[in-house]
Amino acid sequence: MAAEIALGLMLAVGAGLMLQTLWRLHRVDPGFNADRVLALHLLPPNVGSQAGRTTSGFYQLALEKLRALPGVSAAGAIQHLPFSGYSWNGALDIEGHDVPPGASRPVAGLRIVTPGYFKAMGQPVLLGREFDWADSMRETAVIVNRRSPARITASAAAALNRRLRIRGGGIQSQWMTVVGVVGDVRHVSLTAAAMPEIYTPSRRGRFPR
């Protein structure tokens, strides 16, 4: 009987700690609003195949049709949703901010999005603007989050109009101009702090595989 009582107390304590943890997680702001948001995983034909050569505008057309549906207020796409378990990272060259010899370049999470993504996720645009489809063609605009190293100073406004390049996977992008600053998102999990993030427009309406 003593063993049963001890086991019961252990279970009660464990349940109490679990409830406290769930309560704390419930109060954590993930940086986006998942209420009434439907997520879909879309895979168009391979863009390298004969069938895929005409799919450069696949996501643009799909999102336009989704926005036209009754009850849909916004629609957008991203290559890796928050909490998906995937995260691309890249090093940054920031114009006007020289890296001392032997020092590492600042690193940020890389997110590829379409116009409408921030509105669909309820991720606030704090300064500047969202992407438009022209950005997908020019590939010269970039959006950063509040924690981004592109800020350099304590003011988020310092990031606007700053130019940067992304280095990752053996690729160096062209110089891109920061056109907007968005709120921070906990991309990895609710228990992991938000990280610096760089958002680029989907290239010509495509996402890399």
Token pair for 173:
């992008």
Token pair for 204:
């010509």
Token pair for 2:
């003593």
DSSP 115: T
Instruction: Specify the pTM.
Output: 0.80
What pLDDT does residue 21 have? 46
What pLDDT does residue 173 have? 82
What pLDDT does residue 14 have? 53
**Contact indicator for 142, 200 with CB cutoff of 8 Å:** yes
Token pair for 102:
């032997």
What pLDDT does residue 101 have? 86
**Contact indicator for 174, 165 with CB cutoff of 8 Å:** yes
- In our burial notation (b when 16+ CB lie closer than 10 A, e otherwise), range 74-87 reads ebbbbbbbbeeeee
CA 66 to chain CA centroid, nearest Å: 21
Instruction: Compute and round to an integer the Cα radius of gyration of the chain.
Output: 21
Note the pLDDT tens digit of each residue in 29-66.
899 898 888 888 877 766 555 444 455 578 888 899 99
CA 57 to chain CA centroid, nearest Å: 21
Q: Which residues of the chain have pLDDT under 50?
A: 19, 21-23, 25, 50-53
Q: How far apart are CA 76 and CA 183, in angstroms?
A: 17
What pLDDT does residue 167 have? 85
Residues in the chain: 209
CB burial of residue 202 (10 Å; 0-12, 13-18, 19+) = buried
